[in-house]
Amino acid sequence: MTDRLRSLTKKPTWRALIFWLLPAAFLGYFFYQPLLALFNLLISPDWGFRLAELDLNRLWQPLWFTTAQAALSTLLTLIIGLPGAWLFANYIFPGKKLLKILTTLPFILPTVVVAAGFNALLGPRGWLNLGLMALFNLESPPIQFLNTFGAILTAHVFYNTTIIIRVVSNAWSQQNIRLQQAAKVLGASPWQTFREVTLPLLKPSILAGTLLVFLFNFTSFGVILMLGGPQFATLEVEIYVQALHMLNLPLASILSILQLICTLAITLGHNKLAGHQKMTIVPRSQEIGTRKPKHTLERLATTLLVIILFSLLVAPLASLALRSVVKLEASRGERGEITRGFTLQFYRELGVNRLGDLFYVPPITAARNSLIFALITILITITLGILVAYALRQRSPINAVLDPLLMLPLGASAITLGLGFIIVFNRPPFSNFRFPILLPIAHSLVALPFIVRTLSPALQSIPDSLRNAARALGAPPLRVWREIDLPLLSPAIIVSIIFGLTISLGEFGASSFLTRPDYPTLPIAIFRYISQPGALNYGQALAMSTLLMIVCAGGIFIIEHFQATSKDWL
């Protein structure tokens, strides 16, 4: 091998290493260190752990169910999400912007609230059952939704469809329309064009979205517990039971490790499927190629999709928001006589500290905390995400090792991570482990895989020819980056910011471990209300959830608005 060739093959590794430096240090320090410390402590004879005594059935049974439900849920999510992505990427229709924001909201809601929303719609006394009972003169509610396998699947589709829509429609709307036009000119039918041109170009983003959804379903906790009921247990639910109810931390650790190994295997499988092929395309601007539906068939399909998305993703949210402004006043002793009326009482009550509780936090403060944590999360993850995306662009063997390690935080249970933080970050500079920065750091660990999976395909698709042209014209490297990479990356950066925002705003598991009582987030405040009896508490939990939705929708609106207005500026 000549020196010249060697230097060529070596160079990317060095470059990749430089890009990896900060992200790897971050993950190593804040993820691998606490996790390994925890496992090291717990899986030892001091803690009464004996590998030989381990009953393997306690691992296989939940593992089997976890995998099966995740696969089915992911499939259903794709069935709804891919047409959704098609709709958003190709068509203009009234209310499009609003619908896109609304379909993102399920992602942020705490499960305990989502369960309440589904209940208001599909529960034993939900609107649907009441309607059907009245219509067909039935004695008992015809739809049994809660505590069924179907409830788990529905809730997973409800939560995760937005991932597919966001990731895939972003890639789709950036495809160069000239390729499809060329295929058409060459005599390809629309179906052929789709199969041979569009689909192969979409493959990386579809696979990336599928991976994220599958991993989210694989580590599902609240949905299984609250909507699936006691008949179902995933690995994550088992970890929770063993750690917090049986205080069997060694078994909880073994289950966590199993979950991490599976995450690693799934990611490796995905990477193999995705391959290394790099498809570069000259991206088009967002608006070109979107149009109003023309033929009857198109109109029918798009209308149907809007209805499906609306009733599946928006209706449960709407029923929650509605319930937070409706008074259900039962006159004493007469259960049937419920007078419904409009009320803002629950919202007013949020601002009142009735009992003079030391830990009372006004809703504005909780919203402010949530937003500050989300902002820090976005800052950390976008910086690290861009670095990782550039590292992954280098053809370096270390990427094959480091990339899957980056995905592991998605497979780590919040409980395990929380406990790990406690044993590691309890000395300076984290003198009190509730040092407020730990919370956005934990959120960043979860959000980073999403952001990398969004940014990396976008970066890969930028053709080098553009950069070379700029360089040939005399642009210095930084200018090339500012004038070529940044504008072409900006749609993906916007999607990433939205992921960072929504993941941080909605995160509950790790937050419940790491929040300091003086800095509660919105989901923590919601939980505090709904875990106490009394109509007022229930109403306030729903009011607070509605507030969370409004804060999040506002955030997404501003981010997308910024994208729309910043085009010229970039």
The residues in 120-139 that bind other proteins, with binding defined as CB under 8 A, are: 123-125
Closest separation in Å from C-beta 324 to other proteins: 12
The binder of other proteins chosen from 13, 59, 141, 560 (CB under 8 A): 141
* Closer residue to other proteins, CB minimum distance, 41 or 553: 41
Q: Which is nearer to other proteins, 149 or 194 (CB)?
A: 149
The answer to whether the CB of 418 falls within 8 A of the CB of 509 is yes
Transcribe 377-389 into DSSP letters.
Answer: HHHHHHHHHHHHH
Please choose, out of 69-77, 194-202, 314-322, 536-544, the segment that lies near other proteins by the rule CB under 8 A: 536-544
Q: How far is the CB of 564 from other proteins (least distance, A)?
A: 28
334 near other proteins, rule: CB under 8 A:
yes
Q: Which region, judged by CB under 8 A, interacts with other proteins, from 161-169, 363-371, 525-533, 549-557?
A: 525-533
Determine, following the binding rule CB under 8 A, whether residue 368 of this chain makes contact with other proteins.
no
CB of 125 to other proteins, least distance (A): 5
> 């929303």: which residue's tokens?
117
- When asked if residue 382 is in the footprint of other proteins (CB under 8 A), the reply is no
Q: Is 355 in the site for other proteins (CB under 8 A)?
A: yes
Q: By CB under 8 A, tell whether 327 contacts other proteins.
A: yes
**What's the closest the beta carbon of residue 163 comes to other proteins, in angstroms?**
25
Residue 69, both tokens: 């439900």
Q: Within 147-176, which residues bind other proteins (CB under 8 A)?
A: 147
Asked whether the beta carbons of 167 and 455 are under 8 A apart, the reply is: no
Q: Which of 107, 218, 240, 450 binds other proteins (CB under 8 A)?
A: 240
The reply to whether 22 sits near other proteins by the rule CB under 8 A is: yes
- From 241, 281, 375, 553, residue interacting with other proteins (rule: CB under 8 A): 241
Complete DSSP assignment for 328-352: EEEPTT-TT-EEEEE--HHHHHHT-
- Give me the 395-434 binding string for other proteins, x by CB under 8 A, dash otherwise: --------------------x--xx--xx--xx-x--xxx
Measured distance CA(453)–CA(214) in Å, rounded: 14
Q: Which is nearer to other proteins, 194 or 481 (CB)?
A: 481
**Residue closer to other proteins, measured from CB, 172 or 538:** 538
**Quick check: 524 and 512 in contact, CB under 8 A?**
yes
**Residues contacting residue 161 through CB under 8 Å, at least 6 positions apart:** 77, 80, 81, 84, 103, 106, 309, 312, 313
Sole binder of other proteins in the list 4, 294, 295, 335 (CB under 8 A): 335
Distance, CA of 41 to CA of 47 (rounded, Å): 8
CB of 154 to other proteins, least distance (A): 16
Q: Which is nearer to other proteins, 58 or 467 (CB)?
A: 58
CA-nearest of 96, 100, 103, 91 to 298 is 91
**Does residue 533 interact with other proteins by CB under 8 A?**
yes
Which residues have C-beta within 8 Å of that of residue 158, sequence separation ≥ 6?
A: 106, 114, 312, 313, 316
DSSP 8-state symbol, 290: -
Report which DSSP code applies to 327. Answer: E
**How many residues belong to the site for other proteins (CB under 8 A)?**
82
Helix, strand or coil, per DSSP, at residue 91 = strand
Q: Interface with other proteins includes 268 (CB under 8 A)?
A: no
Question: Would you give the binding string for other proteins spanning residues 277-316, x where CB under 8 A is met?
Answer: ----------------------------------------
The site string for other proteins over 69-108 (x = CB under 8 A, - otherwise) reads ----------------------------------------
Please choose, out of 141-149, 284-292, 481-489, 499-507, the segment that lies near other proteins by the rule CB under 8 A.
Answer: 141-149
Cα–Cα distance measured from residue 204 to residue 81, given in angstroms and rounded to the nearest whole number: 15
Query: Closest approach of Cβ 511 to other proteins, in Å?
Result: 9
* Residue 340 region by backbone torsions, left for phi larger than 0, else alpha for psi between -120 and 50, else beta: beta
Residue 136 CB burial class (10 angstroms; 0-12, 13-18, ≥19):
exposed
CA distance 174 to 290: 11
> Residue 245, interface with other proteins (CB under 8 A)?
yes
Question: Which is closer to other proteins, CB of 387 or CB of 559?
Answer: 387
Alpha carbons 444 and 439: distance in angstroms, whole number: 9
Q: What x/- string results for residues 186 through 225 when contact with other proteins is judged by CB under 8 A? A: ---------------------------------------x
According to DSSP, the β-strands at 338-342 and 326-330 are antiparallel
Structure tokens at 535: 């109509």
Contacting residues for 542 by C-beta, under 8 A, at least 6 apart:
113, 116, 320, 321, 323, 324, 346
Shorter beta-carbon distance to other proteins: residue 84 or 440: 440
φ/ψ (deg, to 5) at 160: -105, -10
Interface with other proteins by CB under 8 A: which range of 150-158, 192-200, 241-249, 270-278?
241-249
| H or E segment to which residue 326 belongs | strand 326-330
247: left (phi > 0), else alpha (psi -120 to 50), else beta? left
**Nearest approach, Cβ of residue 189 and other proteins (Å):** 51
Q: From the CB of 325, what's the least distance to other proteins, in Å?
A: 12
**Amino acid found at 135:** L
437 binds other proteins (CB under 8 A): yes
Residue 57 contacts other proteins per CB under 8 A: no
Nearer to other proteins, 157 or 376 (CB): 376
312-333 in b/e form (b: 16+ CB < 10 A) is bbbbbbbbbbebbbbeeeeeee
* Cα 535 from Cα 73, distance rounded (Å): 34
